[in-house]
Structure 1
Amino acid sequence: MMIGIIGAMAQEVSLLASMINNPQKQIIAGVEFIQGELQGHQVVLLRSGVGKVQAAMATTLLHEHYKPSLIINIGSAGGLISGMEIGDIIISSESGHHDVDLSPIGLEPAVLPDLPKTFPSDPKLIALVEDALTELDINSKIGLIATGDAFIADQKQVAQIKAIFPNVLAVEMEAAAIAQVAHLYQTPFIVMRALSDLPDKEMPMSFVEYLDLAAKNSSQIVLKVLDKLPTEA
């Protein structure tokens, strides 16, 4: 079983990269893939780059070159609900594009032709992550993650996203693109994002300040999830 682990930024994958045994590195179309053993599993870790195009390209390359059995997307996100703190974890029940709008031609906002409005995460992976989180002292919620090619930094933007996805918990720039590709390849996936910024704080500054904490917490959960996955193929 090959497990694909995707982060967008160097800070989001560096901790896990340092822990991979017998790493074999390959660069394809500017994306570095690190294959090796982590917690007794064969994994391939990659930094996709920021944004939906980079994420979709990297996820496609992952499928074509490494044939993953499942995909875990990690990293940071902006929290869109009250009661959450920096470093808390959002687990995707589903992911969707908040910046897609074909309503002038009759489609619902966030819907692309022949595709669902949101891409549901694998239920077995959700249950596994929930189990892992019970052993870590990290607050978490499960729900919808919204994706778009913009850093969301003010309440007007938040309101626009909530008009499309009223139950959204967090926003970021890659998850739905990764989920869409995984959906098309019929690969089980899950998104685990740690909050690096919140709607009631100075968002750009808090993102820079707390990215490392968010990356550390999301990496911790990956390690715990890998511990709980069966090691047989």
Structure 2
Amino acid sequence: MLSKREILLAVTFLIIGALVSSIAVYGFMAAEISSLKSEIEELEKYAPPKERPIAVITAFPGELDLIVKEMNKTGKVEVIKIGSWTFFYGTLYGKKVVAFFSGIGKTNAAAGTELCIARFNPKAIIFTGIAGGVPEFADIGDITISTAVAHHDYGRVIPPGGLPGVEYPETADLIRGFVPRGVPIFKDGKKLRIVFFNASTELVDLALKAAKEIDFGVVPGTNRTPVVRTGIIVTGDQFIASTQKCEWLYKVFNALATEMEGASVAQVAYMHNIPWVIIRCHSDRADDIAEKIIKEFWRYAAVNAAKLTLKMVELWPESM
């Protein structure tokens, strides 16, 4: 039979053992909770903001500079780097805005837009910058607001002149051996083939309203002021500097401007049901001398495209 002293020692050891175990468990739990808290904080960095911003996208820095400059004037701008993209997130005229340049070309534009949507969940997308005017009347300095966009370089390559006995659609460029087609899209369980992606009519109307309040100045070296039009913009991974190609783009697509990003942005936005519009100021006429002309006018065109975009944000209605 155990003495009282032995019983007391046994109970004491049991209590000490229980306390040690509790401390170990508590320490483990505290470490787990701290680790979980850190993981949550890290995830929150990448969670979309509660207030959905307006996304403003350009192809290269020179088109973005004025946008970011204005954002810095109106409040604190947070610089967020993800992969190869740098996003400027802040306030512009009292509205939440995220702005960035995607890089030139269709792949850069699509990848940047997808990342922007995943990270910021924007309520609308404005892609803004320079482009080449397609028809002769779409002159340097003029502005095209997209009603729709299309990929002009998606399709089938055929022998120049076509194959004997084969009928081709009127849209075929038999001189170069190319037949354009709609882009295949899988959405809501359906396979679609889309030629034209339609811009938001509300954003087009807002752009037209904003344009009426802007003094774009005189086109350098001329006495004419820019003309603002709505119409079709075409996109391809090609810098167009060919009068003959322009004639085909106008004939087939009725295009007013050609560039290298817009349709890719529109396609991604369409997949996510996000309204969008493309704003383009003509830096050249995409003709045989376009490579020379763009060097003279791209800054003027980039600034005017940015001016229109800024005014759109300023006039942005609460209902949108």
Instruction: Output the TM-score relative to the length of structure 1.
Output: 0.92
Match of 2:311 among 203, 224, 230: 224
Higher radius of gyration, 1 or 2:
2
Match of 1:139 among 217, 224, 227: 227
When residues 143 and 57 of structure 1 are mapped into structure 2, their CA distance, relative to the original with a 3 A threshold, is same
Superposed CA deviations along residues 82-122 of structure 1, whole A, max 9, x for unmatched, are: 23332221000000000000488x99723122232110000
Superposed CA deviations along residues 7-64 of structure 1, whole A, max 9, x for unmatched, are: 0011000111112131111122201111001111100001000000000000000100
The Cα shift of 1:154 comes to 1.1
> Aligned ranges for residues 1-233 of structure 1 at < 5 Å?
1-20=52-71, 21-102=75-156, 109-113=180-184, 114-137=192-215, 138-165=226-253, 167-199=254-286, 202-231=289-318
The Cα shift of 1:164 comes to 3.1
Show structure 1 runs of 4+ deviating over 3 A.
none
Q: Does structure 2 retain, via aligned residues, the 8 Å contact 1:31–1:58?
A: yes
Q: Which protein is richer in strand relative to its size?
A: 1
The Cα shift of 1:201 comes to 6.7
State the number of aligned residues.
Answer: 231
**Aligned partners of 1:101, 1:232: CA distance in 2, in Å?**
39
Instruction: Output the TM-score relative to the length of structure 2.
Output: 0.68
Q: Give 3-state SS (helix, strand or coil) of 2:77's partner.
A: strand
- Computed over aligned residues only, the root mean square deviation of the Cα atoms, in angstroms, reads 2.0
Q: Does structure 1 retain, via aligned residues, the 8 Å contact 2:258–2:286?
A: no
Q: Does structure 2 retain, via aligned residues, the 8 Å contact 1:110–1:164?
A: no
**Aligned partners of 1:101, 1:199: CA distance in 2, in Å?**
21
Runs of 5+ consecutive residues of structure 2 not aligned to the other structure: 1-51, 159-167, 170-178, 185-191, 216-225
User: 2:70 is matched by which residue type in structure 1?
Assistant: M
Q: Does structure 2 retain, via aligned residues, the 8 Å contact 1:109–1:164?
A: no
User: 1:99 is matched by which residue type in structure 2?
Assistant: D
Q: Does structure 2 retain, via aligned residues, the 8 Å contact 1:78–1:197?
A: yes
Deviates most, 63-72 or 215-224: 215-224
Q: Does structure 1 retain, via aligned residues, the 8 Å contact 2:135–2:250?
A: no
